[in-house]
Amino acid sequence: MSKNVLTVNGLDAAYGESKVLFDISIAVEERQVVGCVGRNGAGKSTLLKSIAGFLRPKAGTIESEGVDLIGRTAFAIANMGVKYVPQDKKVFSDLTVRENLELGSYASGDYNWDPVLVFFPKLKVLMDRKAGYLSGGERQMLMIGRAILGNPKLLLVDEPTEGLAPSIVSHLKDVFREISKTAALIIVEQNLPMICGISDKIYALNEGRMVAEITERDRITPEECEPYL
């Protein structure tokens, strides 16, 4: 039995009757950064949702360190250290930044916010602001900050840089590199320079199927990935 942080085998997923994913297999090793690219509607988000337990797959297996994830509730999967950061950048807008982080701590039992504030010093000054008033970049920081409480072993990040300014994108890139020292990441991303800069492996999806797997370090370049977008 592999001790991979994540092993997905032959995964099929569907929304109601319409099938979205066909026979997807991926493997993520400890502290590995895995990029996932593909066009809109290729099924990238569905893949992350299935892993995180928000969508029950039709077929296939999902395992983390030998433990079966299928059939577990989303909160149980999160508590096993597989945390999902959705694409919608929806923080709890009625709650302050502090309260948002408190919920992350409550869920994980980890009340040490120092790592979060080292990654995102800006959150310190925003602590008592309602999260609804944050900018897009600040929301993304808060969502990632909330998710890394409790030292997860795998982060599933859905299009983190979508619509963000270049300076924030490069900041996030550094943060992801830093996070990967302790955790594995699967990042769904359209920004090829950013994702190729940090990934150890790239999967490309198209119309619900796996069309490429790039593992050689020197082939992980925007030029190589371009055809899959």
Binding site for other proteins (CB under 8 A): 16, 52, 54, 73-75, 78-79, 83-84, 86, 90, 92-95, 99-100, 102-104, 106-108, 146-147, 150
Q: Rounded to the nearest whole angstrom, what is the least distance from the CB of residue 223 to other proteins in the complex?
A: 35
Q: Which is nearer to other proteins, 132 or 166 (CB)?
A: 132
What tokens appear for 41 in the block? 């509607």
Q: Map tokens 């830093």 to a residue.
A: 178
Q: Rounded to the nearest whole angstrom, what is the least distance from the CB of residue 150 to other proteins in the complex?
A: 7
Q: Which is nearer to other proteins, 27 or 74 (CB)?
A: 74
Q: Which is nearer to other proteins, 106 or 133 (CB)?
A: 106
In this structure, which amino acid lies at residue 92? F
Q: 3-state secondary structure string, 44-55?
A: HHHHHHHHHCCC
The torsion angles phi and psi of 64, rounded to 5 degrees, stand at -125, 120
Is residue 12 within 8 A of residue 21, CB to CB? The reply is yes
Q: Which is nearer to other proteins, 146 or 201 (CB)?
A: 146
Q: Rounded to the nearest whole angstrom, what is the least distance from the CB of residue 36 to other proteins in the complex?
A: 18
Q: Rounded to the nearest whole angstrom, what is the least distance from the CB of residue 221 to other proteins in the complex?
A: 32
Q: Rounded to the nearest whole angstrom, what is the least distance from the CB of residue 212 to other proteins in the complex?
A: 29
HSE-CB of 214 using CA atoms within 13 angstroms: 24
E-state strands within the chain: 6-15, 18-28, 33-38, 59-64, 67-68, 82-85, 154-158, 184-188, 201-206, 209-214
Q: Which is nearer to other proteins, 14 or 74 (CB)?
A: 74
E-state strands within 52-130: 59-64, 67-68, 82-85
